[in-house]
Chain A
Amino acid sequence: MNRILWRASLRHLLTHPWQTGLAVLGIALGVAVVVSINLAEVSAKRAFALSIETVIGKATHQIIGGPSGLDEAIYVQLRVEEGWKSAAPVVEGYVYVPGDPGRTLKLLGVDPFEESPFRTYWQHFGRDSAIDMATLVTEPNTALLSAITAKQLGLKRGDTLKLRVDGEPYAVRIVGLSPSGNSKGKFSLDDVLLTDISTAQTLLGMLGRLSRVDLILPTGQQGSAQLERLRALLPPAPEVIPTGVHTETIQQMTRAFHTNLTALSLLALLVGMFLIYNTMTFLVVQRRELIGNLRALGVTRRQIFKTILVEALSIGLVGTLCGLLFGMLLGEGLLGLVTQTINDLYFAVTVRQLAVPPLALALAVLLGLGVTALAAFVPANEAAIVPPRVAMSRSLFETKAHHWVRRSALSGVLVIAFATATLLLPSNSLGLGLIGLFALVLGATLITPAATVALVRLCQPAVSRVFGLIGRLAARSVLASLSRTTVAVAALMVAVSAVLSIGIMIGSFRLSVAEWLDSVVRADLYVSLPHPVASPPEGTLAPALVERIGAAPGVVDWSTVRRTRIDSERGITEIVAYKLSPHSHSGFRFKEGDPSAIWPAFEDQEAVLISEPYAYRHGLGVNALVRLRTDHGERDFRVAGVYYDYGSDQGVIAMSRRTYERNWTDRGVSGIGIYLDPDTAPKEIEEVLHRIAGPHQEVQIVSNRAIREASLEVFDRTFAITEVLRLLAAVVAFIGVFSALTALELERAREFGMLRAIGLTPRQLWGLIMSQTGLMGVAAGLLALPVGVALAVTLIYVINQRSFGWTMDAYISSGSLAQAMLLAVTAAVLAGIYPAFKMTRARPADMLREE
């Protein structure tokens, strides 16, 4: 019996290749998007974790200093006077390899003789590099590279690598190569330039300083005792932190970004789910006669239910497997975009290849099958309750659908109420926000059938007036087969509203950033180092240069900025120290705080400003205290104001240069803003400044306009991945609608045959089908507008705020609304072309003969 059932089901699928194929495609695309995003993220995370692990090695703790590092005397004291074992000094920073494209390498300076307990990669430099180990220590400007990085840079052992460090040119000789990762893949020295600590100090200008001292402390009581002793030994400024803190903070930075990407990719799968639902419903409805007969022959409900479910799962499985393959391909493509965003926003990471963890694939399979099972449940149930022999009439089914429409709308209202309540809940939880968002989508979907009915009824008089009989027929037929039309409309509506809302969100964001840039970028020219590294501390301009530029002709005023980072046990804090020209004060827009009181406090009372995301993340406001680890120990700083800043989603603490210099020994400057005499031409001054900078340090001098453009370029780049996802959602939606409408129209071949037989011309039939799909497109578009706006508002005020801490104004252009409408109608009309084409070509007699 079972075999007959399976064969019947297989035959049915095979005789409906379009429906089956499109359902497979829908699931495949949905799964592919989820898989590709997941793999790209996992790869980026892995690469990052691996490079961190290689560099941290077995260290359990680190002694860290302030922005200017740690006095090396502390290390010597620990070693010689205290006999402290398992301590390894590290000097690290970033160097830039010029070229096209240029490349940033992490310079890791270590003492090879203290490395063994910490980092295992030394073993991999190979036996023939023995002499070069000695060279590494004894000869200035020598370094080791991983074989892969060397190959990418076109270098062999013994070659010279040209570098720029803070814009100044250097050359190092490569005296050894390590394999990139051992067989177990437990380390990665890619993009690491490994040198002796002396070379690192010289190259990075860190003479007398260390970036950190790595320690291995035992666990348990013995460890805490040692930690205690160590803290007592150290002066107040350095801090001992567990190594995990650092990695964790950095990983946390990207968490919101990853969550958002995942949510977006799930949206694509959601649309895929509609597709499966749609297809399975069709396949069941088409066979209701057969199912009735089977039941009469003694097949149980259970068996019918099982058959339909297995059928769906088979489609789902094929789709999922295709999705996995396609997802891996897509992942390769998205990897670049994801890492680009991570590099622009968070930290430098290079991902050599897409990691494909089996677990991720298994999860994707589960997800694909789960979604399929969920979507197939209703149709399978529908099939199972078909009474024996009595073939359920189509009209009866549609009558039921009408009841179902009402129920669905009711539950939709409830779900939307739930969503609204969830979103309005005073909470910072991103998870709750996403639940609200998805509930909103679900609620809107549930309301769609009722709304469609209402809309079509509303349009009916107008349509019949314009298109006459054909128009009336079109409207009627939409209403007559609600069970299929509404699903197609819902799928299209969800996709269009997603596309619309993401568009509105990005547009609003971009506008806010552009406005912010306009107000904050006030100086005429900006001097900075080229090729900045994503994570502070940024490069340092030569101190002499700063003075000379200030004294240059045509320069009326100037401000400086120092961006750096303070690590502590509590995490990483980004710090910006401004020496502000009075011109620049008005560039700050405050969310909180009285501007007249803020500036005196900022300049003279060591008060600090915090950016909006910082305030949001730490729940701080004006007059709150922030604790920072200065070079003289821990200190509280009063918050004078909260300002708008879209530069960092982690948030920054801004302070005056004076405050900075009083509390930290670092005297570096990351950038200079120059205010020019209005009578001078910026171009000329630019040349003068370039001459002043001289050949030694390569600096970048750009106009305020260029800096705005460059910033927006970075913005667009960071949102490139979002745009791609938006596009993918649209593609999935289109396929969904295409599949639904094609199936719908093809299924009505008999009906169309009848119409043709009673005198409808092919032209009229064409018009009928097009106006039918067009009407559905209009309905979907009209519904997508409010839903899209609601989703956009949720994205802007809930999801974005909770993810990144930024507030922005929602900006809804009539253009974007019109675009969404156009998308809906175009998609629907395009989807109608094939069936219309096929129906008008077929002979009415054949159409009638079918089945």
Chain B
Amino acid sequence: MLNFADANIDFMGRRRLALALSAILILGSIFLLATRGLNFGIDFTGGTVIEVGYPEPVALEHVREKLEDGGYGRAIVQYFGTSQDVLIRLAPREGEDTAELSNEVFRVLQAGAETEVDLRRVEFVGPQVGEELREQGGLAMLYAMFGILVYVALRFEWRFSVGSVLALAHDVVITLGIFSLLQAEFDLSVLAAILAVIGYSLNDTIVVYDRIRENFRKMRKENAESVMNKAVNQMLSRTIITSGTTLLVLLTLYFLGGAVINNFALALIIGVLVGTYSSIYVAAALALATGVDRTVMLPVKKEGEDTQAVGEERP
């Protein structure tokens, strides 16, 4: 069985290597985001998505031909989940009654069909709504980070606060980078997932920082690096088990939750993996880099007084 009880891995010793790796990943992500960008869904771009279901597998060519005949040659047609479900995307175009569009397209598909076509889903987002959603999403991300920054600064210390938000930004940027690499669709639900990743990754970081704070009080003779290394090792089993159980449910969601929820689950899976890596290798290293040491953690106090630190409950 898994046992990390006596883990004593020199994570901090390898922090330069880890930070270098993270730097490469972040730069790579930024490069991808700048060049390829995200594959934004209609939530953010505006447009129409129509999902139709066929009683038996259908050839995409057949669907495309029908749409072309109906004057919708510009539609993007793809399978959604199974070969019986087809997703049709239409970008917004001027002079077209967008609200009527979905009905028209469905009529075209139904006309002369040998089998019955089932209209499963229609999503239409007007261009101005897409713009607003994009703006709100960006704002939400910034506000969440700011709120967390303030909370951590109050509960711990500003250096930790900076460290945790940097770790967060690290996780978010890399997750977005991977989404850009895969060109997986980025819609509202993925945005929600990214915000959940913020919460989750922070959870991880805070747990490690909490232990670092505790260790500084206990391990009076060791230097900052080994105090932090000890904390990461002590939390290693917890980090891995929690990530493991979370991944377990996310994987069931990914495989069984249906195509609608796929990208949402994917974003969370990537986020949890990156978050786990960062809470082991990056969070503590960042704390060290921002200059966290004993003098910061335990400002001039006499022996035995340190248990009064913020909110600590006596056993």
A, B assembled together = no
Interface residues of A (CB under 8 A from B): none
